[in-house]
Amino acid sequence: MKVNTTEITEAANKAGRYCGAAGCHDGKTVFGHDTPNCEKCHNGNRGYGKERFSQLSSLPKAQYGNGIDWVQALKTGMIAPLNHLSAKPPDDITFDKILSLQAEWHNIPPAVFPHKEHVQWLDCNNCHPDIFNIKKKTTKHFLMIRILDGEFCGVCHLSVAFPMNHCKRCHPEMR
């Protein structure tokens, strides 16, 4: 990240947003946003502290992202991520609807979006309404060019989730 290119600021972090959200870098659970800790993140070295993650070496390998197949680790029970930071959501709130998103290109079958797999990792408000505005009730603006430009699915699938280099993963009916 570059300075002043996002809304993530030191003040916002200290106010409990972004990295400073309760349960993360709040100064209690993990180091906070005080002067002795500045260099832990603001040092220009993306590999800083990497040695502390040796326990991740037993997780399934992937050829993309950070080299860990997080989906496989979840399926096999090697990890059990929380989908909340401070207040645990009620157990009875589940959403496993599978959406079929019509492609705008000729001869391209619909993309399939399984909510179930995503809500294992994320809370609904991670994507709604900021990334996907559910009030618009349309997929016309979900163009692949915009996704590849880092919008919509590309917010995660170009950075932290599996890359979009296998069309059939999202368009299963593609030949």
Q: pLDDT tens-digit profile of 1-42?
A: 566 667 778 888 888 777 776 667 878 777 888 888 888 877
15 falls within a domain: yes
Q: pLDDT tens-digit profile of 43-73?
A: 777 677 677 677 778 889 988 777 788 889 8
pLDDT band at 89 (very low <50, low <70, confident <90, very high): low
Between CA 100 and CA 170 the distance in angstroms is: 10
85 falls within a domain: no
CATH of the domain at 129: 3.90.10.10
Report the number of distinct structural domains present in the chain.
Answer: 2
35 falls within a domain: yes
72 falls within a domain: no
54 falls within a domain: no
Residues 44/2, Cβ–Cβ less than 8 Å: no
- Domain hosting 164: range is 98-169
CA distances from 90 to 85, 97, 104 (A): 13, 18, 37
65 falls within a domain: no
3 falls within a domain: no
158 falls within a domain: yes
